[in-house]
Structure 1
Amino acid sequence: MNTIKNHTNPFEANSGSMRITNLNTVITVVGLLSVLGLIIIKTEVLGFALCLGLFFVTALVYTVFKTPKVGIYLLIILGFFVTGAARYVVAPWGLTIDAVLVLIYVALFFKGFAIKLPWIKAKSSLTLVVSIWMAYVFLELGNPEVLSREAWFYAMRGVALYQFLAIPLLFMLFNKQKDLDNFFIIWGILSVIGTLKGLQQFYFGVDPFEQRWLDQGGAETHVLFGKLRVFSFYSDAGQYGASQAHAGVVFGILAVFKKTNFKLRAFFIGVAMAGFLGMLISGTRGAIAVPALGGFMFLILRKNIKVLVLGAILGIGVYVFFAHTTIGQGNAEIRRMRTAFDPNEASLQVRLANQRKLKGYLASRPFGGGLGATGNWGQRFTPHSFLANTATDSWYVMIWADTGAVGLVYYLFMLFFILISGARNVMFKIKDNNLKVQITALTCGMAGIMMASYGNGVFGQMPSGILMYVTMVFMFISPQLDKKKSLTNA
């Protein structure tokens, strides 16, 4: 067999910069640059921004198609910044989450032509329960009480769609111990950045774009008695406080039990302290529920009577401090947190009154008033309806009003099924100490966010939403990760 005939002399082949001397390549590049230059000349700064954006989007699409896991990291980062970005550039930033999720699925679709993708990894009871919830939300389109299908489209994304799309992707792409370790690092860095931005608002005030947002209505809930409720670059102070408390709980637990790596432990301690500081300056009373229930969940998972007793004493001490003393009353943040322990507090009584009104309205509507009937979407699309003008003030009350008692019962079943599954894995299945601590931290964090969602719409907002989806998946795959570690160490 003659191989010399087909042999190419490397000294005769074009490579590197020589390839652009090809006439077709030169014409294409010159033509493209000319078009871009003309656009920039005609449209000035806007044209430059559009060209730069086009380049960025093209590079991003290429990267995700090449390495779909990059899309998961992008989702986590977007979760932190996407809502705050609208204060600076008015655009439908929320749809970028949808776009990235779809982009990852498209990338996997085309990748499936070259290699067989292990979709079997997404087969899980977690996938099943969130799929049933998505199906119920989809059937809500047929609810005779629905006044706006457009409101349904916007509302269902945070309630069900993101969860439904993200969880199978996480099972497929984000399922290794290294992914979990990287997740904590990325989360910690983003959370600290959130704290720093919050401190800037707390000590130096808001910037002109944030001031415009306050002037357009944000001040009603974020400037109380002349005092700013810090919101950082999050959607609002409620989300900021709960998310920061979430980081405080999770990284606090990681810090306590990280004994071997001093640098990593110092990082965890720093993130935890920054998280609790962010919670304090947010002025969000409901955020205190995160460390309260997260700490209680931690005591249960430790299965240690002595620790449980000490924790109970500490919890009682915190309760007595806020509910039955005036210590620190001169501090505005402590003073506002203290109101969360007052059963006669005015805003609490208003919430309870609204819930009584909703109870009467929903008594004959077991499937609710339709997704998007309440809150901002209700005000936008059906502003004159009863539900749009009745504040829910709670994630669960919103679920109840929108999807009815049937929807609320299933939704709570789904959340407690996920939480109990994670707790069971921690208590009885995971043997590796490091992994046990990591999943313990995530489980306690989820318990805290579930509790805080009674006071605010935390669970369905970013970044808590994407953090919860990652948390759920690792809670479920932790036994498999533990087995892999056992086999490696055997």
Structure 2
Amino acid sequence: MKDPLLVSFYLYFALLLIQMVNPEGANMAGWFIFIRVFFRNMLFVYLGLHVFNNLQDVRNFFKFWIVICTLAAIYACIQQWHGLLPYELSFMAKYPKKFNTTIILSGIRIFSFMSDAASFGIIMACNIVICMILLTAKINVLSLWKKISLIFIIIFHTLALGYSGTRTGYVMLPAGLLIFFMANLQKRNTILIAIAFGFCSLVILFGPFHSNPTIVRVRTAFLGKQDASMDVRDNNRHHIQPYIYEHPIGGGLMTTGGNALIFHPGHPLSNFQTDNGYLRAVLETGWLGMLLVAANYFYLIQIAVVNYFKLKNEIDKLLMIGIAAAVFEMALAQYAQDAATLVESSIMLNAFASIAIKIKYLYALNTQS
């Protein structure tokens, strides 16, 4: 009851209870759907707190996570190189609305065996940073063949991220590595990784590659001029600001986007496309809701960083700073889209939360190795 991260969860739940009587929009059916997702996340955190009983459990989880995500990355490369399988194309044709952002001018955004391309790209971006951080371990801690394996894993993940067409994921990479570089600039391996990453980035951004659609899309995330879609989003945010100021507890749950057309037809926010996790939070739950969402990210990053400096084993330290970097990436991704509510990314985020909390009380507070 005293942990700040868990307290922020409790306060957010209390705010959701208040939304049941929000005069601007209180629909019990929509409220139950929203609260179901919240309970799913909290249940996952609760299970994690009981599953991760020591640091070996954490290492085993990361082995499993990296392996299954590598399989997803390899399958994404197969989809890109050989095309989607017939049943995948049939599914896309049967449910076109589910894939309206998957087909773009440069081709099909690859989604592997995850729910959509955006979720897949976000997972790949987080894993690339975690694997690059593990690559900085000393050779006597992480053997040479394991480092070679990590290099191949990073290559497949990077290709998969490029094929996903998730521009948010492209921007997440340098942001996540920034956290790690700031904490480890005094180490030689960190400097080498930073130089290698910087060199590869410059080659991709300014190299003589002008016909590859994947590289062109990566460049537009960093060098492209502001397009019409960005102008529309900025105009929408400016237009909705008076509503935010006038409604301190928001307009109610499920009152934005397409959900409002189902649960709140005629609502002022009906069919308003937020394209932003923080904007959705402030519109539906008010300033307090947005601050609590931001507090969740802040406290999770803080706990992971403290664990990093408290633990003694190098691999455990790198896993903790990897969690901090990945969560920081997710916090940044929330500005571009509602990333944390996607199924796969929420599983990752909640697993990281339970790991950080459990390790804090098992090891970090006791300064044990």
State the TM-score, normalized to the length of structure 2. Answer: 0.87
Aligned counterparts of 2:33 and 2:87: Cα–Cα separation in 1: 25
Q: Comparing 267-276 with 305-314, which one deviates more in the overlay?
A: 305-314
Aligned counterparts of 1:345 and 1:135: Cα–Cα separation in 2: 40
Post-superposition CA distance 1:262-286 (Å, at most 9, x none): 3544443333322222111101111
2:75 maps to 1:197: yes
Equivalent position of 1:244 in the other structure? 124
Deviation of 1:308 (Å) = 8.4
2:365 maps to 1:465: no
Deviation of 1:224 (Å) = 1.1
Post-superposition CA distance 1:132-172 (Å, at most 9, x none): 112212221121112532122223343x3233232233222
SS of structure 2 residue aligned to 1:363: helix
Flag the 1:376–1:327 CA change in 2: closer, same or farther, 3 A.
farther
Equivalent position of 1:367 in the other structure? 249
SS of structure 2 residue aligned to 1:463: helix
Aligned counterparts of 1:484 and 1:396: Cα–Cα separation in 2: 32
Deviation of 1:306 (Å) = 8.1
Post-superposition CA distance 1:363-413 (Å, at most 9, x none): 211111211122343344335544231111122222122112221122212
SS of structure 2 residue aligned to 1:221: coil
Aligned counterparts of 2:298 and 2:221: Cα–Cα separation in 1: 25
Equivalent position of 2:113 in the other structure? 233
Could you say which structure has the greater relative contact order, defined with CA pairs below 8 angstroms and 6 or more residues apart? 2
Aligned counterparts of 1:450 and 1:248: Cα–Cα separation in 2: 16
SS of structure 1 residue aligned to 2:100: helix
CA contact (8 A) 1:248 1:272 kept: yes
Equivalent position of 1:330 in the other structure? 211
State the TM-score, normalized to the length of structure 1. Answer: 0.67
Post-superposition CA distance 1:193-243 (Å, at most 9, x none): 211332232123323443244332244311112610111222221111111
Deviation of 1:447 (Å) = 0.9
2:269 maps to 1:387: yes
Deviation of 1:179 (Å) = 1.2
Equivalent position of 2:220 in the other structure? 339
Equivalent position of 1:405 in the other structure? 287
2:356 maps to 1:478: no
- Matching residue within 296, 303, 306 for 1:414: 296
Flag the 1:317–1:139 CA change in 2: closer, same or farther, 3 A.
farther
Equivalent position of 1:285 in the other structure? 167
CA RMSD of aligned residues (A): 3.0
Aligned counterparts of 1:485 and 1:367: Cα–Cα separation in 2: 40
Aligned counterparts of 2:285 and 2:173: Cα–Cα separation in 1: 29
Flag the 1:385–1:314 CA change in 2: closer, same or farther, 3 A.
farther
SS of structure 2 residue aligned to 1:290: helix
Q: Comparing 371-380 with 276-285, which one deviates more in the overlay?
A: 371-380
Equivalent position of 1:163 in the other structure? 41
SS of structure 2 residue aligned to 1:164: helix
Aligned counterparts of 1:290 and 1:364: Cα–Cα separation in 2: 33
Letter in 1 for 2:319: Q
Aligned counterparts of 2:319 and 2:233: Cα–Cα separation in 1: 36
CA contact (8 A) 1:191 1:271 kept: no
Flag the 1:399–1:486 CA change in 2: closer, same or farther, 3 A.
closer
CA contact (8 A) 2:312 2:368 kept: no
Aligned counterparts of 1:322 and 1:349: Cα–Cα separation in 2: 26
CA contact (8 A) 1:156 1:372 kept: no
CA contact (8 A) 2:132 2:193 kept: no
SS of structure 2 residue aligned to 1:431: coil
Deviation of 1:346 (Å) = 2.0
Aligned counterparts of 1:457 and 1:315: Cα–Cα separation in 2: 27
- Gaps spanning 5+ residues in structure 1: where? 1-121
Aligned counterparts of 2:368 and 2:282: Cα–Cα separation in 1: 46
Flag the 1:327–1:147 CA change in 2: closer, same or farther, 3 A.
farther
Equivalent position of 2:15 in the other structure? 136
2:112 maps to 1:269: no
| Alignment: residue pair count | 364
Aligned counterparts of 2:313 and 2:366: Cα–Cα separation in 1: 7
CA contact (8 A) 1:443 1:475 kept: no
Q: Which one has a bigger Cα radius of gyration?
A: 1
2:318 maps to 1:437: yes
Flag the 1:197–1:388 CA change in 2: closer, same or farther, 3 A.
farther
Equivalent position of 1:40 in the other structure? none
- Matching residue within 236, 239, 251 for 1:354: 236
Aligned counterparts of 2:227 and 2:137: Cα–Cα separation in 1: 38
SS of structure 1 residue aligned to 2:133: helix
